[in-house]
């Protein structure tokens, strides 16, 4: 056998051995997952992962192996463990689906778990829907969106001097987030997610083989991350930090100064900043956090949507703001998977731009205040939201399990979103600010079930 053949044979053997070891590792990870579920522990244990990372780094030095490659490989293994251990987690979506099934059986449900406004889109949307057929919008179109809409967005929902080339229309901010994570990063890369967080960031990363490093924030520190926490999480594989203010689920924003510092840190480490600003129009005006657009950072990706401020969740339309080289990468996957965003819906969104969203923001603000009052009245513990349409609360009861509570509450006709869907927050739950009458009704039931269960 020639030298090369001999080496190839060895490579084959080693690769197959590694696959066998992967199987053994995955089986053990599953067993740990079952044990964690029984003990009520969360899937990801950052401390254990860090300890393993340190051991791998040490080993790399001893055996003279490139550390970055080894850490990427470790990230893939850690992600596999997270995947096999993540089944069965309750999210706002799984509760919503259960609630819907109960409704189909004829049960009345008050939806305090939903992530959408409970009012209709502006009247102009109805007119536009009636017009669109005759206007002829209904063919295949440009992947990045129709020019009228891209132009219309600048100067209305996006302020500042943003070139049209920096805007791409997407079927919702969710798809924009998916495109950004999938096309800008490579397997083994790391992203920083500040928790509690909307679960899709983590899920998109897992799907693309990207490792999520979470920063846990607390109610005690008003859900604000510190620059120190961020710096401690960054290493040579860190490629992106995700921001979402006003935040889902806490409704909190951060001080502009902290955002300045986060952007500065991202620049120093050459990180992408993915700023999900879907709730930007729903903020308390005295606390208004300015968009990441203002920093003119060439590695920023800002996602926005018509879903919340125009109550157009089911229309599936949003957009992204980024430098053309980033848009180019994202649009390739959009072209591959969609061809283009529905033209009729783009036309409708264009017409919606003429609507003054302050009206719906005011409605949401009133509902948010009603929710805060009602939550205070029944003694929930929380930080008052600065925006969005949620409140993230816990109770005064020790060992309170929000997942079990939400199951019990659903039996009594009220759906809430358990905290475990947003990270390591089993004792918290999210309530959506809905119409005041229904909200009151729901909160009375919530209070009753709470007292019955814990007093
Ligand atoms: N980002 C956040 C933080 C959200 O809460 C949601 C919806 N719940 C989305 C993005 C998705 O928005 P869209 O409907 O535009 O896809």
Kindly report, residue by residue over 148-204, the tens digit of the pLDDT: 999 999 988 888 789 999 999 999 999 999 999 999 999 999 999 999 999 999 999
Q: What is the pLDDT at residue 92? A: 81
Nearest Cα neighbor of 423 from 31, 90, 75 is 90
Please give all residues whose beta carbon lies within 6 A of any atom in ligand 1, as ranges: 115, 172-174, 198, 244, 248, 276, 278, 305, 307, 313, 318
pLDDT tens track for 244-265: 999 999 999 999 999 999 999 9
For CA atoms 260, 261, 262, 265, the dihedral sign is: positive
**What span, in angstroms and rounded, lies between the C-alpha atoms of 33 and 27?**
10
Q: What is the pLDDT at residue 1? A: 67
280 three-class SS: coil
Does the global pTM surpass 0.75? yes
Residue whose tokens read 């197959």:
16
Tell me the pLDDT band of 9, cut-offs 50, 70 and 90. very high
Ligand 1 mean position, distance from CA 134 (Å): 31
- Cα dihedral 340→324→173→333 (10° resolution): 50
Give the residue whose CA is nearest to atom 7 of ligand 1.
115
Q: What is the pLDDT at residue 88? A: 65
pLDDT tens track for 72-120: 899 999 998 988 887 667 788 888 889 999 999 999 999 999 888 988 9
Residue range 5-10: mean pLDDT, rounded: 94
Residue range 205-226: mean pLDDT, rounded: 96
pLDDT tens track for 278-287: 999 998 877 8
**What span, in angstroms and rounded, lies between the C-alpha atoms of 245 and 260?**
13
Q: What is the pLDDT at residue 68? A: 87
Does 40 have pLDDT greater than 80? no
What size, in residues, is the chain?
455
Select from 242, 248, 422 the residue to mutate for testing ligand 1; criterion: most ligand atoms less than 8 Å from CB: 248
Q: What is the pLDDT at residue 87? A: 65
Nearest Cα neighbor of 91 from 202, 219, 172 is 202
What are the structural domains, with CATH classification, of the chain?
2-85 (1.20.59.10), 92-115+358-454 (3.90.1150.10), 123-352 (3.40.640.10)
Residue range 399-419: mean pLDDT, rounded: 95
- Percent of the residues in the chain that have a pLDDT greater than 90, as a whole number: 82
Nearest Cα neighbor of 77 from 188, 198, 193 is 188
Does 243 have pLDDT greater than 70? yes
Q: Give the count of beta carbons closer than 10 Å to the beta carbon of residue 16.
A: 10
**What span, in angstroms and rounded, lies between the C-alpha atoms of 271 and 265?**
8
Ligand 1 mean position, distance from CA 30 (Å): 31
Q: What is the pLDDT at residue 90? A: 74
- Percent of the residues in the chain that have a pLDDT greater than 70, as a whole number: 99
């Amino acid at each position: 056998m020639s030298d090369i053949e001999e080496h190839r044979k060895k490579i084959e053997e080693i690769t197959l051995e590694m696959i066998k070891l992967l199987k053994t590792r995955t089986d053990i990870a599953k067993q740990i997952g079952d044990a964690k579920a029984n003990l009520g522990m969360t899937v990801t244990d950052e401390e254990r992962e860090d300890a393993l990372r340190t051991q791998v780094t040490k080993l790399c030095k001893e055996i003279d192996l490139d550390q970055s490659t080894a850490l990427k490989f470790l990230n893939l293994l850690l992600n596999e463990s997270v995947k096999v251990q993540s089944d069965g987690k309750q999210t706002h979506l799984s509760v919503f689906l259960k609630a819907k099934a109960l409704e189909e059986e004829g049960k009345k449900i008050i939806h305090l778990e939903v992530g959408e406004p409970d009012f209709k889109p502006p009247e102009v949307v109805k007119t536009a829907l009636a017009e669109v057929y005759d206007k002829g919008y209904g063919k295949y179109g440009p992947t990045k969106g129709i020019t009228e809409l891209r132009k219309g967005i600048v100067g209305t929902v996006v302020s500042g001097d943003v070139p049209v080339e920096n805007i791409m229309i997407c079927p919702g901010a969710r798809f924009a987030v998916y495109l950004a994570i999938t096309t800008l990063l490579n397997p083994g890369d790391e992203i920083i997610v500040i928790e509690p967080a909307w679960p899709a960031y983590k899920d998109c990363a897992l799907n693309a083989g990207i490792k999520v490093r979470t920063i846990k924030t607390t109610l005690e520190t008003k859900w604000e991350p510190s620059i120190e926490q961020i710096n401690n999480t960054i290493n040579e594989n860190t490629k992106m930090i995700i921001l979402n203010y006003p935040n889902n689920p806490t409704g909190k924003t951060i001080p502009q100064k902290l955002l300045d510092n986060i952007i500065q840190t991202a620049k120093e480490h050459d990180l992408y900043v993915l700023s999900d600003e879907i709730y930007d129009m729903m903020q308390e005006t005295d606390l208004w956090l300015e968009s990441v657009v203002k920093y003119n950072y060439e590695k920023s990706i800002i996602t926005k949507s018509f879903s919340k401020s125009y109550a157009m969740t089911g229309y599936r339309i949003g957009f992204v703001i980024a430098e053309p080289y980033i848009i180019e990468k994202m649009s390739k996957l959009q072209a591959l998977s969609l061809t283009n965003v529905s033209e009729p819906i783009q036309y409708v969104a264009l017409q919606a731009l003429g609507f003054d969203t302050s009206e719906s923001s005011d409605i949401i603000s009133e509902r948010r205040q009603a929710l805060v009052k009602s939550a205070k009245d029944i003694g929930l513990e929380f930080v008052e939201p600065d925006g969005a349409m949620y409140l993230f609360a816990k109770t005064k009861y020790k060992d309170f399990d929000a997942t079990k509570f939400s199951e019990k509450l659903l039996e009594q006709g009220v759906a809430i979103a358990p905290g475990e869907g947003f990270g390591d927050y089993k004792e918290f739950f999210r309530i959506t600010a809905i119409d005041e009458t229904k909200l009151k009704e729901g909160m009375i039931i919530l209070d009753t079930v709470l007292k019955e269960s814990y007093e």
